[in-house]
A and B are shown apart, each in its own frame.
Chain A
Amino acid sequence: MSPSSKLRLLLVNDTARPMQQLHDALTRAGYHVIAQAQGAAELLQLVEAQKPDVIIIDTESPSRDTLEQLAAMGQAAPHPVVMFAEQGGLPAIQAAVSAGVTAYVVDRIAAERLAPIIDMARVKFEEDAKLKKRLADMEQQLADRKLIERAKGLLMQRRQLSEAEAYALLRSQAMQSGLRLAELSRQLIDASKLLG
């Protein structure tokens, strides 16, 4: 389906999801993104004034109940895309749900026009989640390394070990007890505080 028969899209941007990136991607793909709502009150005003065909919203957005009320009250208002496998059956929508994408659409929109939009949102959300996870992993690694360094230092000082020996001891203890090296280090540091 050519995007030339332009659907009017509204994005709800009130969580940490990368709505601006999605906005840019949709615009590049030729979609008409009419606005981004920053909260429930603005969302209400925009839906009324601009009458979007599709609303893309983070599953975790606090503004979802605002859309639920519109859907319950008006025939012409945007309704949630049926989002569960047994009723929907559209793989793209299922993937979207697990990525945290929820779509509200006016009734007349066909699935094949909607799927690429939802897909694009899913991809953006997943990219963002991966990026955040990578950053979190890096922070974790850094924190782990600090813990291990401190534990190593403690062992070197208390047991008169070389750095290599202290590290080897930590590693063998970690393997024996089935703990991560960082976790064992944390326990060692905590215990040494108790011992003074």
Chain B
Amino acid sequence: MTDNADFSTSAPLPIRLGFVPLTDCAPLVAARKLGLDRAHGLDFQLQRQPSWAAVRDKLIAGQLDAAQALYGLVYGMQLGLSGPQCDMAILMTLNQNGQGISLAPPLAEQWRAGVGLAAIARRLGRPLVLAHTFPTGTHAMWLYYWLAAQGVHPFRDVKCVVIPPPQMSQAMQAGMLDGFCAGQPWHAVAERDGVAVPVADSSSIWLDHPEKVLTCRRDMARQRPLLAQRLIQVLLLACRWLDRLENRAQAAAWLAEDDYLAMPAALILRHWPNRAPQSGDLRFCDEGRVNFPYRSDGLWFLQQYRRWGMWQGEPGAEWVDPLNQTELYRAAAGLCGLPLPDSADRDGVLMDDMTGPTMFAAPHNAGANRGADALLQCINRRS
């Protein structure tokens, strides 16, 4: 079957799309609710997933055609770091920012009073117990980076565990956790329950970091490029719609429905700043600047895996370029009238000016930064 045959009939083509109940699954929900999928010959079947492991396994087993995924989940699959190896494709970035770190109220109070994190941990007299959401995921990397930049080693000084975000508040309440890094609205939930206080936005760790991506298996992107391109198109339009402040209330109302987040819209809006999204805010499009699959974003994750001893390879473009479906993205963005960036790399601002990576480099990783030199230069290059 050729790719074109997918669209040879008038009936929209069913596409099974996995998502995890988080505020930033909004592009998938909005695309469906606005009918953007059917307007482009697709019939989105949104399938809520209970875990990132389930998203991974179903993509590999062909039970999902594509999915919203943590940026780092895709690299974990590509490198075989967490579960079986599978060649993957990143079709586009779905959003930037919008994640955070919360601490138990007594710790948050100290932190806000200016006590350093390392001192807080020492006063505790036992290792901090902090949760994230998936071993290779974004929240793990934001948390590790945040800790390391403050002189706290994420493995030696902290016990890092995974708790499913809907159970974070309960685990905080039970005294199992000292804090967590996750997406929204789970900070809002823990805050409402009085068991945690947000202390850092993820954008304070890496300003305008990539967060969730649209991913599928590489063979699907290769064999069905037209389908992949239409998927990108539909989600680009949804992302652009989401960035308009006047659509915010509608987006939250849809997310609140039982099929998606199943929680009050007011909670979903609690940490979604009521203004047109700016740099640092949760944003979905910014005229396509959010969505382009940047090479430098992928390199950053490779460098972190290397830094934390999860991967022994040399970070380089040869790992990143096969994942990023840049040509498909260009075609889709063109059809949506969205401009393209001048470069596949972008500048980034990290909380420690990138002095961190060498700080905890293990001896066998002494050369870790050699391969990442290009990345360092690119990220440090500030006008």
Contacts and interface: CB of A to CB of B under 8 A. Distances in A.
Given A41-B176, A59-B57, A80-B83, A66 B50 contact: no
B163 A40 contact: yes
B164 A66 contact: yes
Nearest to A58: B50
B126 to A, nearest CB: 14
B275 to A, nearest CB: 33
Contacts of A59: 54, 57
B82 interface: yes
Contact of B135 (A15, A73, A83, A97): A73
A68 B167 contact: no
A65 B133 contact: yes
B162 interface: yes
Interface string B156-187: 00001111101100110010100000000000
B220 interface: no
Given A65-B51, A72-B81, A40 B162 contact: yes
A18 interface: no
B134 interface: yes
A41 B172 CA distance: 10
A173 B261 CA distance: 42
Interface residues of B, number: 31
A71 B174 CA distance: 24
Given A65-B134, A69-B161, A84 B51 contact: no
Contact of B161 (A64, A66, A82): A66
A65 B140 CA distance: 12
Given A41-B174, A65-B162, A82-B84, A72 B54 contact: no
A66 B57 contact: no
Given A40-B171, A62-B51, A64-B50, A83 B134 contact: no
| Contact size range, A | 20 to 34
Interface string A54-76: 00000111111111110111000
A45 B176 CA distance: 9
Given A61-B51, A68-B135, A84-B60, A40 B82 contact: no
A102 to B, nearest CB: 8
Nearest to B171: A41
Among B134, B162, B174, B176, which residue has the most Cβ atoms of chain A within 10 A? B162
Interface of B: 50-54, 57, 60-61, 81-84, 132-136, 140, 155, 160-164, 166-167, 170-171, 174, 176, 310
19 contacts: A40-B167, A40-B171, A41-B174, A44-B161, A59-B54, A60-B54, A62-B166, A63-B51, A63-B164, A66-B164, A67-B53, A68-B82, A69-B132, A69-B140, A72-B82, A72-B135, A72-B136, A80-B83, A87-B84
Given A66-B164, A68-B83, 19 more contacts: A15-B50, A40-B171, A41-B171, A45-B176, A60-B54, A62-B166, A63-B51, A65-B53, A67-B53, A68-B134, A68-B135, A69-B140, A69-B162, A72-B135, A72-B136, A73-B135, A73-B155, A73-B160, A97-B61
